[in-house]
Amino acid sequence: MLHLSWWKWVLLALTVGGCGALPDAKPFAEASHTLAMSVASAGQAVADSLGEAGALTESDDAAYKARADKFRAAWGERVAASRAVAVYSESISDLISAGQEGGETVKKVGDALSGLAGALNIPLAAPAVGVAGDVARFLADRIATVRASDRLETALAKAQPAVDRLAERIATETDQPLRSVLDNTYKTQRGQITDKYDAQQNQLQPFEMKRSELASQALANTDVLPVLLQHDQALASLRSRLAERDRLLAEASMAYKARLQLLNALSAATITWAQSHRDLAVAVKQKRKVTVVELQATISELKSLSKKVSEL
Amino acid sequence: MTFDDLTSIDWESCSATAQWAKLLDSLLALAPLAGTTGQRGQLADALDAFADHSSSPDFEIITKLDRVARRAARALREASIDEALAALEAASGEFRAISKEVGAVTASLQKEAAVLRAERLRTAVTSLSDTIASLKAVSHSMSDSDDTKLTSALSQAVTSAQKLRGLIEQTA
């Protein structure tokens, strides 16, 4: 049989028993913060869209401002709920840190005592001090981990239905009422822009036909040239007005597409985030690491889309 | 005309202003029947398409027809916007409930983190108390010896450790 001194047995036990730490919940907490910010950004994007539609005609401005206010008040509840979840996620991460700090503190105190003994030339057996410190640290870690883990398991299980409901509702609302407001507002805005230029658009074809007619006449009769020149100037002015319309339509379309992208990304990210919460709960139970690659990729995309929309 | 016909309108079939006016009448007749967001959206798209495609040498009349079509489209879309806003408003209570539930769990987690940190400090205090006791014992046992330097250093160490313990206890 293998004979080892007592402190070697303790070291062996530490090596074998050292695995099984709590997962790092910081990426989840960061993702929750980004998600909360994106819920707010998506709301701002839709409110801006309503504002832009109202600003096109003076008579509509008040009605659209009232709609934007109504929307902001309703969406504010979603923002508040997602912020509450972000704070909750941070408290998960904080509890895990509190558990991990237990062993660290014992180690610091142990190190300080060894240093003190060394400075005073008090002869202490170095391996014994080290092992005693490691044992204390190991025990503190295990106790804190188990306590934190028990509380986390309960908390995560308790929060899961609320997390699922939040994710499902945000995803559904983003796909339906929010999308409906955005689509209808954009099309209304597009209609209002086009409406302003319909008269010029309707004049264009008769003007172009008349121009061809005048150009043919000018070939035979140079007296028509001044009239043709005048007509060309009017036609250029008409085309310039229509180019202005096309620019406004392109701007509105660009803003709509960016906002729509944000809504689509938010819907997908919310579902991924709720799944990550479930994965985190399992990881806490099994004391293993949690994979956050998909969550981080989704959240990163969401962050860049939120930034793009805020810069519109 | 029915809602099913809206996707297959042949915009090239109209040329005279009267034909455009007749087509617009048919579209407007569907407006009171548009009961869902989908139907309203479909009809509004058709009305906008009418204004985009209509053309006539009599551009003043055709512009007036376009304006009627655009306004009807806008009214239909605004009805859908208002319906969506009402749906969002009606579901707000659920989010208030979620905030409350999550807030309760957060409070319990924060409390537990505070307890763990307090225990951490208690561990540090206990360790220091033991050290102080050991150093005191060493100091007493050496008091009769000639090594005054070491005795003085130990006394200082005891004082420093006691101060540190006091600080930790205050934090806790």
Q: Contacts for A56-63 with beta carbons within 8 Å, 24 or more apart?
A: A56/A189, A56/A192, A56/A193, A56/A196, A57/A192, A60/A192, A63/B78
> Does A195 contact chain B (CB < 8 Å)?
yes
Confidence of residue A96 (pLDDT cuts 50, 70, 90): confident
Predicted confidence (pLDDT) per residue in A36-95, tens digit: 988 898 889 899 889 888 877 777 788 888 899 999 999 999 999 889 988 998 888 888
Tell me which of A160, A195, A209 to substitute to probe the interface with B (most B C-beta atoms closer than 10 Å): A195
B45 and B76 part of one domain: yes
What pLDDT is stored for residue A2 in this prediction? 43
B85 and B114 part of one domain: no
What pLDDT is stored for residue A175 in this prediction? 86
Contacts of A21 (CB under 8 A, 6+ apart): A100, A145, A287
| Tokens, residue A285 | 């139970």
> Does A70 contact chain B (CB < 8 Å)?
yes
Q: Residue A37 and residue B153: Cα distance in Å, rounded?
A: 57
Whether B23 is in a domain gets the answer yes
Confidence of residue A7 (pLDDT cuts 50, 70, 90): very low
Predicted confidence (pLDDT) per residue in A70-79, tens digit: 999 999 999 9
Tell me what the pLDDT averaged over chain A comes to.
80
Whether B135 is in a domain gets the answer yes
B71 and B147 part of one domain: no
What pLDDT is stored for residue B131 in this prediction? 63
A34 CA to centre of own chain: 4
CA distance B63 to chain A (A): 6
Q: Residue B24 and residue B26: Cα distance in Å, rounded?
A: 5
| Backbone torsions φ then ψ of A124, nearest 5 degrees | -120, 140
B57 and B15 part of one domain: yes
CA distance A173 to chain B (A): 8
Q: Residue A30 and residue A22: Cα distance in Å, rounded?
A: 17
Q: What does the pLDDT average to over A144-169?
A: 81
Q: Residue A29 and residue A46: Cα distance in Å, rounded?
A: 26
Whether B104 is in a domain gets the answer no
What pLDDT is stored for residue A140 in this prediction? 52
List B residues 84-123 in contact with A (Cβ-Cβ < 8 A). 84-85, 87-89, 91-92, 94-96, 98-99, 101-103, 105-106, 108-110, 112-114, 116-117, 119-121, 123
B11 and B81 part of one domain: yes
What pLDDT is stored for residue B53 in this prediction? 92
Least-confidence region, from A208-222, A231-245, B155-169: B155-169
Higher-pLDDT residue of B1 and B137 is: B1
Is it the case that residue A271 has pLDDT exceeding 60? Answer: yes
Q: What does the pLDDT average to over A266-278?
A: 88
| Tokens, residue B41 | 């959206």
Which residues of chain A are within 8 Å of residue B55 when distances are taken between CB atoms? Answer: 202, 205
- For residue B158, the tally of other CB atoms under 10 A from its CB is 18
Using the beta-carbon criterion (under 8 Å), do B98 and A165 form an inter-chain contact? yes
Confidence of residue A268 (pLDDT cuts 50, 70, 90): confident
Is it the case that residue A145 has pLDDT exceeding 80? Answer: no
Contacts of B69 (CB under 8 A, 6+ apart): B24, B27, B47, B48, B50, B51, B54
B17 and B47 part of one domain: yes
Whether B98 is in a domain gets the answer no
Which residues of chain A are within 8 Å of residue B74 when distances are taken between CB atoms? Answer: 188, 191-192
Confidence of residue A312 (pLDDT cuts 50, 70, 90): confident
Domains of chain B: total: 2
| Backbone torsions φ then ψ of A165, nearest 5 degrees | -65, -45
Using the beta-carbon criterion (under 8 Å), do A102 and B103 form an inter-chain contact? no
Q: Residue A194 and residue A201: Cα distance in Å, rounded?
A: 9
Query: Which residue segment(s) compose the domain that B138 sits in?
Result: 109-171
Predicted confidence (pLDDT) per residue in B47-100, tens digit: 999 999 998 888 889 999 999 999 999 999 999 999 999 999 999 999 999 999
Which residue matches tokens 């490691």? A134
Question: Per-domain residue ranges for chain A?
Answer: 21-310
**Containing H/E element for A7?**
helix A6-17
B38 and B74 part of one domain: yes
Whether B103 is in a domain gets the answer no
